[in-house]
């Protein structure tokens, strides 16, 4: 009779035990879930902290690079500019012993500048802060420019440079070797590859450049006859500060960054670069690039506004090669010129007589009416006799004396665009007195060097060391052109440009931004006034600033005489 209550009690205890076990399991599961949630939150917080730390480190790195750019490039530009003025004899004659010391100082300053520029360039490219300036490029022209740039180094090393004729260019249209890319960056790649090949080539050897193209890509090969690269180093040579042999840095110089920079530039273009040992001697470096780059890399038209002074005519480009006309016209258009193209001498004569042509760029060797004959007929026609002509030819400028009185300027192909602009600016400068230039620069030493570089130029340069002083001088006298540093003790170049934009008489001033730091596309848009150029200290020396300013002078004088009024009536 008493067994059932006992069994019921035991059943109750068992049920309670099960409930207790279930409760304990649920509690443990809840605790585990809480711990997992806590760990997840801790991981999330940790990731957030790491992300913030990375962002802070990126910000610090950007600030460091910007500071290094300005604090190193500005004094180095002053030093290099002063050495250049002394070496050139602009300040006075220098004896042989002092000239040798200047040569040593200049050489080592250039070496330091190259190292700093290479480090900063590589950092900017790999961090994505160096967007490409995409436009139509001629691979052959870029190779010719690179050979021209490196010819002095090749001559001193007794190495011959050769651009091998392209079978593609001979069998197809000239456009076969055109592609979309950043011409300055690709030129930097070809120049670096040539420099590397020259350094490791024996005397009396040849470095050859081969070009090829398919429908979708272009191929560049630089072939040397040097000692070759070991198989285990073919990939690592594109890393930073890599040399094939430890002694190469001391014996052959260089920063060890050239090929790393080449790889970054090529990868930015969506291409590839690699090295291969030749079967006999030497090494071949290959660069393959797509024919058409991403449209998102191309600068919009709004980023390059053109502000032309009223009453200017056009520049007539006469060349039978459509590729040359395309490249020259592109350079001139980006400088604010209006361009008319002519494919023959006969066409040029008609255009020059019927249109208001300000200057003519003239090729000498053309089928039909040659450049020589075209030039003579221009001079014999009263309607075109006073138009300045700049010869654009493969012939050396040593032949220029034969054209005295006929052509006012001469630029040899393959041309450097800065020299082209310099010749145009020189033949077109017709102001009624020296142009007035305002230099806004807080570094007194660099300002002195820049002013000294303009000593013999047809310009007058005033200096403002602060933003407020620059404003005062602009109010007192409207400059013809501004040279502007972005770092000022009482503000910056951006706020000064913003003030200029609020002044009706100053909002279209031509401007040369000469800064110690690299300038992004978005910042360029904030700084543009009238025709605007952007130069980087240490990369562009004071004498080159002088050249650029003189090329802009003819378009910035408010009282230029109209060329048409100086021509005899027809």
Q: Output the pLDDT for position 302.
A: 36
Residue-wise pLDDT tens digits, 511-540: 899 888 777 778 888 888 877 888 888 777
Spatial separation of the C-alpha atoms in residues 177 and 171, rounded to whole Å: 11
Q: Output the pLDDT for position 160.
A: 92
Q: Output the pLDDT for position 6.
A: 54
Mean pLDDT of 348-370: 87
Q: Output the pLDDT for position 462.
A: 92
Strand-by-strand arrangement of the 409-412 sheet:
339-342, 314-318, 357-362, 389-393, 409-412
Spatial separation of the C-alpha atoms in residues 525 and 378, rounded to whole Å: 41
Query: Please, what are the domains in the chain?
Result: 135-297 (3.30.565.10), 304-428 (3.40.50.2300), 435-553 (3.40.50.2300)
Q: Indicate whether 544 pLDDT > 50.
A: yes
Q: Indicate whether 269 pLDDT > 60.
A: yes
* Among the ranges given (226-230, 290-294, 502-506), the one the predictor scored with the smallest mean pLDDT: 290-294
Residue-wise pLDDT tens digits, 146-155: 898 888 888 9
Side-chain half-sphere exposure of 540, counting CA atoms within 13 A: 20
3-state secondary structure (DSSP) of residue 95: coil
Percentage with pLDDT > 90 across the chain: 9
Q: Over the chain, what is the mean pLDDT?
A: 76
Choice between 25 and 201, residue whose per-residue pLDDT is larger: 201
Q: Indicate whether 210 pLDDT > 90.
A: yes
Q: Output the pLDDT for position 20.
A: 63
Going by pLDDT thresholds of 50, 70 and 90, the confidence category of residue 193 is very high
Q: Indicate whether 463 pLDDT > 90.
A: yes
Choice between 524 and 552, residue whose per-residue pLDDT is larger: 524
Mean pLDDT of 471-489: 89
Mean pLDDT of 462-486: 90
State the burial class of residue 94 (Cβ atoms within 10 Å of its Cβ: 0-12, 13-18, 19+): middle
Q: Indicate whether 322 pLDDT > 50.
A: yes
Side-chain half-sphere exposure of 142, counting CA atoms within 13 A: 25
* Among the ranges given (256-260, 345-349, 486-490), the one the predictor scored with the smallest mean pLDDT: 256-260
Mean pLDDT of 166-175: 53
Q: Output the pLDDT for position 564.
A: 32
Mean pLDDT of 102-121: 80
Going by pLDDT thresholds of 50, 70 and 90, the confidence category of residue 299 is very low
Q: Output the pLDDT for position 173.
A: 47
Q: The pTM is what?
A: 0.53
Using only C-alpha atoms, what is the Rg of the chain?
Answer: 32
Q: Output the pLDDT for position 311.
A: 34
Spatial separation of the C-alpha atoms in residues 385 and 487, rounded to whole Å: 48
| 272: CB partners within 8 A, 6+ apart | 266, 286, 287, 288
Choice between 473 and 356, residue whose per-residue pLDDT is larger: 473
């Amino acid at each position: 009779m008493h067994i059932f209550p006992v069994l019921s009690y035991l059943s109750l205890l068992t049920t309670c035990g099960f409930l207790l076990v279930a409760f304990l399991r649920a509690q443990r599961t809840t605790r585990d879930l809480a711990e997992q949630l806590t760990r997840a939150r801790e991981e999330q917080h940790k990731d957030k902290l790491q992300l913030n730390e990375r962002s802070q480190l990126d910000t610090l790195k950007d600030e460091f690079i910007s500071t290094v750019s300005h604090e190193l490039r500005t004094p180095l530009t002053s030093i290099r500019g002063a050495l250049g003025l002394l070496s050139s004899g602009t300040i006075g004659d220098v004896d042989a012993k002092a000239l040798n010391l200047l040569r040593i100082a200049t050489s080592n300053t250039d070496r330091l500048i190259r190292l700093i520029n290479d480090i900063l360039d590589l950092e900017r490219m790999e961090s994505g802060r160096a967007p490409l300036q995409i436009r139509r490029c001629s691979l052959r022209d870029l190779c010719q420019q690179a050979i021209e740039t490196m010819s002095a180094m090749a001559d001193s090393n007794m190495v011959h440079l050769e651009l091998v004729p392209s079978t593609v260019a001979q069998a197809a249209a000239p456009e076969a070797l055109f592609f979309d890319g950043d011409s300055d960056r690709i030129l930097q790649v070809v120049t670096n590859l040539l420099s590397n090949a020259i350094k490791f080539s024996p005397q009396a050897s040849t470095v050859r450049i081969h070009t090829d193209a398919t429908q979708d890509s272009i191929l560049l090969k630089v072939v040397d006859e040097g000692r070759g690269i070991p198989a285990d180093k073919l990939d690592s040579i594109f890393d930073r500060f890599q040399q094939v042999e430890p002694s190469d840095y001391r014996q052959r110089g260089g920063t060890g960054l050239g090929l790393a920079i080449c790889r970054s530039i090529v990868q930015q273009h969506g291409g590839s670069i690699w090295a291969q040992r030749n079967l006999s001697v030497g090494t071949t470096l290959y660069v393959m690039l797509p024919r058409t780059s991403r449209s998102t890399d191309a600068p919009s038209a709004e980023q390059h506004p053109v502000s032309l002074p009223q009453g200017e005519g056009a520049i007539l480009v006469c060349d039978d090669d459509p590729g040359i006309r395309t490249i020259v016209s592109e350079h001139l258009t980006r400088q604010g010129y209006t361009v008319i193209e002519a494919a023959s001498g006969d066409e040029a004569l008609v255009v020059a007589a019927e249109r208001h042509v300000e200057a003519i760029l003239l090729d000498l060797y053309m089928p039909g009416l040659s450049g020589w004959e075209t030039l003579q007929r221009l001079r014999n026609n009263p309607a075109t006799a006073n138009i300045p002509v700049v010869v654009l030819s493969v012939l050396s400028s040593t032949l220029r004396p034969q054209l005295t009185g006929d052509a006012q300027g001469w630029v040899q192909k393959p041309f450097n665009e800065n020299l082209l602009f310099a010749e145009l600016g020189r033949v077109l400068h017709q102001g009624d007195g020296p142009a007035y230039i305002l230099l806004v620069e807080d570094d007194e030493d660099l300002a002195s060097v820049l002013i000294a570089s303009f000593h013999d130029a047809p310009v007058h340069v005033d200096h403002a060391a602060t933003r407020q002083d620059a404003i005062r001088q602009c109010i007192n006298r409207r400059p013809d052109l501004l040279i502007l540093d972005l770092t000022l003790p009482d503000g910056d170049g951006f706020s000064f440009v913003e003030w200029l934009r609020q002044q009706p008489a100053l909002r279209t001033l031509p401007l040369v931004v000469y800064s110690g730091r690299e300038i992004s596309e978005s910042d360029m848009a904030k700084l543009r006034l009238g025709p605007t150029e952007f130069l980087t200290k240490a990369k562009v020396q004071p004498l080159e600033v002088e050249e650029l300013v003189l090329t802009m002078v003819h378009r910035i004088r408010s009282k230029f005489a109209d060329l048409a009024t100086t021509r005899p009536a027809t």
